């Protein structure tokens, strides 16, 4: 690693970075447009409707038509709003969504002996991502935490009560689920041993299909990441931020015209990016399964989008089938289930790692050590889960008691009261 | 780059923060100004670390960030309490102990 | 060219840092001040990256940008104190001029320390601070994170654990401080529906 500033930046580097940024921008935009179409089409099918089918073949151009329509609508700024922040918020939402895409390797040949880079005619070696940042995956966390500001400030600056409620909900939700997201991410970093996204893909490519982080980390971080990621996106079933039945339209109620279009775009772009991040972290990104490498770097592109489509379909499927959670259920799920599980699993993975390195030495072989560590940590996790459950139930009952309410009758109470009544007759 | 350029920048930021702490009466704003001061310190620590060729400076800055997070948590809880008792977060009104 | 790029990055990020800082203390509206604070933090993160502290730069954005300022905004919105501070009679007379004087004096002190001190004494006005910012480059063969981790868990492990305890105490303390005994109007989670 060299200091990019003192070593100097050549004109070629700048041109290359510009070209890569433009290509990534176009891919991201087109993917987002197709995603909007895909979501509408699939949801329609799942609801026994046809969906957009007029504009262009299969209605493919519907998003473009909607976008052009929104461009020409009147841009309304409420008189009670904070004008500056109101106009700034859509950009704060859209820009992080774009930027996250910069660290995702979208193509490249990761077959054995290759590291996914190509050498350009000018002699520059480059990977198929805009920026291979040394601590790349942290960039994703940073950007996803910045994306909150767009929603938060949009709700606040509208000067209206439903958007404010929506944005307060969004903030609380995003903070809660970011912890689970970060902890399951830590498991991936632990097994991959690197923070760079291309490094993570390479570490998975070495193991083939069974080298995928989804399998190596033992599935739990994968599922936690999907749930927390869906919540982070504010997508159903975690879309309390824009629950139509309660909050009109949520944080973007007061927005119209192109500013609304930007929020809409940011939302779908975030969905695509989150899918891409899951593919990169857990499914091996552009590396092929079962050694089915073909066509060099272009094969990586095909593999990447095939895997991405899987997750995009999953997000749409969630939306079409799952009912929305209540707010307290949402918080319970985040704080009482996802965070303890991902934290516990991270400790288990760490323990296994230490045992594999042979640093425990209780038994002859490392395998026995690993089994021992696994058994002990699972036992500790079981005890911890029981204690946590007990504490949660106890505090809930205490709270009920302190409010002078009778606790919600349990099965035994009900049974007892029935027998009492029976006895009285 | 010279080391004292970083240190000079940090000194200016530090003084801005001190001015903010001394003049703002909104409790939340006072806490924000304290964050500015801590950031000035972080700039210094990282600059000294780079100067010495040692990651110690960065590790120290990491600790400062962690402590700042704790400080903000408790600080905002106190602001919340002041608001609950006095319906205002003006720190100059929290003067019950004044003789 | 390398040095030029370095200076340009320093100038731009320095301007953002100071502009954000001024925005924090001059904006009447707390939400605008919080936005300036984010800008300032970003400038600091760029300064970190220009000095090879990649991990720290991201931690700066995630913790300050993602958690601390969000917390600030959350409290501002929750209390509904987001309208501009009323300009009333100042309780301490001369508070503002005195604060300016204090700030300028502190700055003078720091500048004096920067330029007048040093191993050379009075005549050696060129202090250690007048030298290149990276005298000894940090070992560049190893990733920044690995170096940080090694240092954190060997030399500073005690401080690390103390920080962990501090954070726990702060969390518990914050919860205890704002707990509203007996007046909870939150949704009661009945036993049986809790997911944990």
In a domain? residue B73: yes
Separation CA A108–CA A106 (nearest Å): 7
User: Which residues 6+ apart lie within 8 Å of A386 measured at CB?
Assistant: none
d(CA A116, CA A27): 19
Question: CATH number, domain at B78?
Answer: 1.10.287.3510
For residue C157, what are its two tokens? 């492990």
Contact criterion met (CB below 8 Å) for A75 and A258: yes
- For C47, which residue in chain A has the nearest alpha carbon? A5
pLDDT > 60? residue A409: no
Q: What is the mean pLDDT of residues A203-223?
A: 83
Of the candidates B92, A350, A156, A195, the one whose C-alpha atom is nearest the C-alpha of residue C75 is A156
pTM higher than 0.90 for the full model? no
pLDDT in tens, A280-312: 888 888 888 777 777 777 888 888 888 899 999
pLDDT in tens, C147-170: 888 888 888 889 999 999 999 999
Per-residue confidence band for C190, with pLDDT thresholds at 50, 70 and 90: very low
Q: Does the beta carbon of A389 lie under 8 angstroms from any beta carbon of chain C?
A: yes
Interchain pair A85, C35: CB under 8 A: yes
**Please, which residues have CB within 8 angstroms of residue A260's CB and are 6 or more apart in sequence?**
A70, A252
Interface test with C, best of A81, A99, A131, A134 (most C CBs within 10 A): A134
Question: Which of C22, C103, C152 should be substituted to probe chain B, the one whose Cβ sees the most B Cβ atoms within 10 Å?
Answer: C103
Query: Above 50 in pLDDT, residue C187?
Result: no
- The B residues from 26 to 85 touching C (CB cutoff 8 Å) are 26, 28-29, 31-33, 35-36, 39, 42-43, 46-47, 49-56, 58-59, 61-63, 65-74, 76-81, 83-84
Count other C-beta atoms under 10 Å from residue C25's C-beta: 23
Exposed, middle or buried: residue A398 (CB in 10 Å: 0-12, 13-18, 19+)? exposed
* C-alpha distances in Å from residue A77, one per residue of A70, A147, A247, A252, B93: 15, 22, 19, 12, 37
The whole-angstrom separation of Cα C133 and Cα B47 is: 7
Q: Do C106 and B15 touch (CB under 8 A)?
A: yes
- Predicted pLDDT of residue C18: 92
C182–A402 CB contact, under 8 Å: yes
- Across A177-200, b (16+ Cβ under 10 Å) vs e yields bbbbbbbbbbbbbebbebbbbbbb
Q: Tell me the average pLDDT of chain A.
A: 81
Planar angle of CA C91, C94, C100, nearest 5 degrees: 120
Contact (CB<8Å) B36/C110: no
Alpha helices in A233-334 (DSSP H): 244-247, 257-282, 297-321, 327-332
Q: Is the pLDDT of residue A1 over 70?
A: no
pLDDT, average across residues A261-268: 87
**Structure-model confidence comparison of residues A174 and A8, the more confident one:** A174
Chains touching C (3+ CB pairs < 8 Å): A, B
Shortest alpha-carbon distance between residue A47 and chain C (Å): 29
Write out residues 14-33 of B within 8 Å (CB-CB) of C.
14-20, 22-26, 28-29, 31-33
pLDDT in tens, A370-397: 888 888 888 888 888 888 888 888 888 8
Q: Is C56 on the interface with A (CB under 8 A)?
A: no
DSSP state for residue B2 in the 8-state scheme:
B
Long-range contacts of the stretch A346-353 (C-beta < 8 A, 24+): A346/A183, A346/A184, A346/A186, A346/A187, A346/A190, A346/A221, A347/A377, A348/A373, A348/A374, A348/A377, A348/A378, A348/A381, A349/A187, A349/A190, A349/A191, A349/A217, A349/A218, A350/A190, A351/A376, A351/A377, A353/A190, A353/A191
For the residues A221-231, what does the mean pLDDT come to? 91
Contacts of A175 in chain C (CB under 8 A): 67, 70
Closest residue of chain C to B7, computed from CA coordinates: C114
CA atoms within 13 A on the CB side of A331: 11
**8-state DSSP, C23:** H
Task: Give the model's pLDDT for residue B24.
Answer: 80
CA–CA dist A149, C74 (Å, integer): 11
Q: Cβ of C31 and A141 within 8 Å?
A: no
pLDDT, residue B40, reads 92
pLDDT, residue A108, reads: 78
Higher-scoring residue by pLDDT: A89, C180:
A89
User: Does C39 touch chain A if contact means CB atoms closer than 8 Å?
Assistant: no
- What mean pLDDT value characterizes chain C? 76
Determine the average pLDDT of the residues in A159-183. 83
Query: Predicted confidence band at A406 (pLDDT cuts at 50, 70, 90)?
Result: low
Task: Answer yes or no: do C177 and B80 touch at CB < 8 A.
Answer: yes
**Arithmetic mean of pLDDT, C20-42:** 89
Average pLDDT, rounded, for chain B: 84
Q: Classify residue B58: in a domain, yes or no.
A: yes
List CB contacts of A98: < 8 A, sequence separation 6 or more: A25, A28, A269
Ranked by mean pLDDT, the top range of A162-171, C64-73, C185-194 is C64-73
Residues of A in contact with C137 (CB under 8 A): 3
Greatest mean pLDDT among A52-56, A222-226, A253-257 lies in A222-226
Highest-confidence range of A189-198, A248-257, B36-45, by mean pLDDT? Answer: B36-45
Residue A212's closest CA among A307, A325, A318? A307
Task: Output the pLDDT for position C19.
Answer: 93
- Test C191 with A393 for CB contact under 8 angstroms: yes
The mean pLDDT value for C65-91 works out to 72
Does the distance separating the beta carbons of C106 and B18 come in below 8 Å? Answer: yes
Peptide bond into A237 cis (omega under 30): yes
How many structural domains compose chain B? 1
pLDDT average, residue stretch A219-241 = 86
Q: At what angle do helices A83-100 and A257-282 cross, to 10 degrees?
A: 30
C196 with A392: Cβ contact below 8 A: yes
Supply the pLDDT for residue A9.
64
Q: What's the gap between Cα A28 and its chain centre?
A: 16
- Residue C91 confidence (pLDDT): 57
* High-pLDDT (> 70) share of chain B, %: 95
Chain C residues whose CB is inside 8 A of the A329 CB are: 193, 195
Cβ–Cβ < 8 Å for A191, A200: no
Residue C124 has pLDDT above 50, yes or no: no
Number of H helices, E strands in chain B: 3, 0
Write down the H helix ranges in A207-256. 213-216, 220-232, 244-247
CA dist list (Å): B74 to B64, C64, C169: 15, 15, 10
Q: Do A141 and C62 touch (CB under 8 A)?
A: yes
pLDDT recorded at residue A424: 44
The ipTM of this complex is: 0.88
Contact assignment for A328 to C62 by CB distance below 8 Å: no
Inter-chain residue contact C152 with B62, CB threshold 8 Å: yes
| C170: Cβ contacts below 8 Å, ≥ 6 apart | B69, B70, B71, B73, B74
Instruction: Choose the closest CB to A156 out of C62, C82, C191.
Output: C82
| Phi, psi at C16, each rounded to 5° | -65, -40
Closest CA to B3 of B49, B51, B55, B52: B51
What is Dmax (Cα atoms) for chain C?
78
Least reliable range by pLDDT among A79-88, A107-116, A187-196: A107-116
- Asked if C145 and A135 come within 8 Å (Cβ–Cβ), the reply is yes
Q: Do C54 and A133 touch (CB under 8 A)?
A: yes
Cβ atoms of A47 and A41 closer than 8 Å: no
Q: What are phi and psi of A119, to 5 degrees?
A: -100, 120
Give me the helices (H) in C51-94, please: 54-59, 69-79
Higher per-residue pLDDT: C93 or A330: A330
Residue with tokens 């946590």: A388
CB nearest to C195's CB, from A3, A142, A329: A329
Q: Give dist(CA A74, CA A76) in Å, integer.
A: 6
Percent of chain A with pLDDT over 70: 89
What is the reported pLDDT for A244? 67
The answer to whether residue C122 scores a pLDDT higher than 70 is: no
Domain membership of residue B52 as a residue range: 3-91
What was the pLDDT predicted at A218?
82
Q: What is the pLDDT of residue C82?
A: 58
Asked if A340 has any chain C CB less than 8 Å from its own CB, the reply is: yes
Within 10 Å of residue A326's Cβ, how many Cβ atoms? 13
Cβ pair C77:A85 closer than 8 A: no
Best B50, B82, B89 member to test C by mutation, with max C CBs in 10 Å, is B50
Instruction: Please give the average per-residue pLDDT across A113-136, as a whole number.
Output: 76
pLDDT at A407 over 60: no
* pLDDT for C123 beyond 50: no
For chain A, percent of residues with pLDDT exceeding 90 = 5
Work out the pLDDT band at C188, boundaries 50, 70, 90: very low
Q: How confident is the model at residue C125 (pLDDT cuts 50, 70, 90)?
A: very low
Residue labelled with tokens 């003084």 = B15
Chain B CB contacts of C159 under 8 Å are 63
């Amino acid at each position: 690693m060299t200091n990019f500033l003192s070593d100097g930046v050549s004109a070629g580097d700048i041109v290359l970075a510009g070209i890569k940024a433009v290509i990534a921008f176009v891919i991201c935009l087109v993917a987002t447009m197709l995603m909007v179409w895909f979501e509408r089409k699939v949801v329609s099918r799942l609801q026994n409707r046809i969906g957009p089918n007029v504009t262009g073949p299969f209605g493919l151009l519907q998003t473009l038509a909607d976008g052009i329509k929104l461009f020409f609508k009147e841009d309304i700024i409420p008189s009670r709003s904070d004008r500056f922040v109101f106009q700034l918020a859509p950009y704060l939402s859209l820009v992080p969504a774009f930027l996250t895409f910069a660290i995702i390797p979208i193509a490249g040949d990761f077959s054995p002996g290759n590291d996914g880079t190509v050498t350009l005619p000018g002699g520059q070696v480059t990977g198929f991502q805009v920026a291979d940042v040394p601590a790349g995956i942290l960039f994703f966390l940073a950007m996803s935490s910045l994306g909150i500001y767009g929603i938060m400030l949009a709700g606040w600056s509208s000067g209206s009560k439903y958007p404010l409620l929506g944005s307060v909900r969004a903030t609380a939700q995003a903070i809660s689920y970011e912890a689970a997201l970060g902890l399951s991410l830590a498991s991936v970093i632990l097994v991959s041993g690197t923070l760079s996204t291309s490094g993570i893909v390479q570490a998975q490519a070495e193991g083939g299909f069974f080298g995928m982080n989804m399998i190596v980390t033992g599935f739990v971080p994968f599922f936690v990441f999907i749930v927390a990621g869906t919540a982070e996106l504010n997508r159903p079933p975690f879309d309390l931020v824009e629950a139509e039945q309660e909050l009109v339209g949520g944080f973007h109620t007061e927005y119209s015209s192109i500013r609304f279009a930007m929020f809409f775009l940011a939302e779908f772009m975030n969905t695509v990016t989150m899918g891409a991040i899951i593919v990169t972290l857990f499914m091996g990104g552009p590396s092929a399964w079962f050694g089915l490498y073909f066509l060099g770097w272009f094969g990586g592109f095909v593999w990447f989008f095939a895997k991405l489509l899987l997750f995009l379909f999953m997000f749409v499927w969630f939306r079409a089938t799952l009912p929305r959670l209540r707010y307290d259920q949402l918080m319970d799920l985040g704080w009482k289930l996802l965070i303890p599980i991902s934290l516990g699993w991270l400790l288990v993975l760490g323990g296994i790692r230490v045992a594999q390195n042979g640093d425990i030495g209780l038994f002859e072989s490392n395998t026995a050590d690993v089994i021992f560590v696994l058994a002990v940590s699972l036992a500790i996790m079981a005890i911890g889960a029981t204690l946590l459950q007990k504490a949660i139930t106890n505090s809930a009952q205490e709270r009920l008691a302190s409010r002078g309410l009778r606790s919600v009758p349990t099965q035994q109470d009900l049974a007892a009261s029935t027998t009492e009544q029976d006895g009285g007759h | 780059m010279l080391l004292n350029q970083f240190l000079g920048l940090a000194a200016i930021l530090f003084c801005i923060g001190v001015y903010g702490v001394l003049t703002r009466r909104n409790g939340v704003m006072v806490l924000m100004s304290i964050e500015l001061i801590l950031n000035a310190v972080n700039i210094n620590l990282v600059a000294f670390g780079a100067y010495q060729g040692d990651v110690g400076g960065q590790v120290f800055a990491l600790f400062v960030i962690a402590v700042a997070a704790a400080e903000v948590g408790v600080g905002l809880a106190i602001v919340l309490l002041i608001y609950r008792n006095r319906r205002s977060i003006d720190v100059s009104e929290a003067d019950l102990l004044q003789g | 060219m390398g040095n030029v790029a370095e200076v340009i990055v320093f100038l731009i990020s320095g301007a953002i840092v100071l502009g954000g800082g001024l925005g924090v203390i001059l904006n009447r509206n707390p939400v605008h001040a919080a936005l300036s604070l984010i800008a300032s933090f970003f400038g600091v993160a760029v300064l970190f990256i220009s000095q090879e502290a990649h991990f720290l730069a991201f931690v700066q954005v995630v913790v300050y940008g993602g958690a601390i300022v969000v917390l600030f905004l959350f409290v501002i919105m929750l209390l509904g104190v987001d309208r501009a501070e009323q300009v009333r009679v100042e309780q301490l007379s001369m508070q503002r001029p005195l604060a300016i004087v204090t700030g300028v004096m502190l700055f003078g002190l720091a500048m004096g320390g920067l330029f007048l001190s040093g191993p050379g004494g009075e005549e050696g006005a060129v202090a250690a601070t007048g030298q290149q910012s990276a005298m000894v480059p940090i070992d560049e063969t190893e990733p920044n994170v690995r170096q940080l981790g090694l240092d954190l868990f060997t030399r500073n492990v005690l401080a690390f654990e103390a920080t962990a305890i501090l954070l726990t105490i702060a969390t518990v303390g914050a919860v205890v401080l704002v707990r509203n005994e007996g007046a909870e109007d939150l949704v009661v989670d009945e036993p049986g529906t809790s997911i944990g």
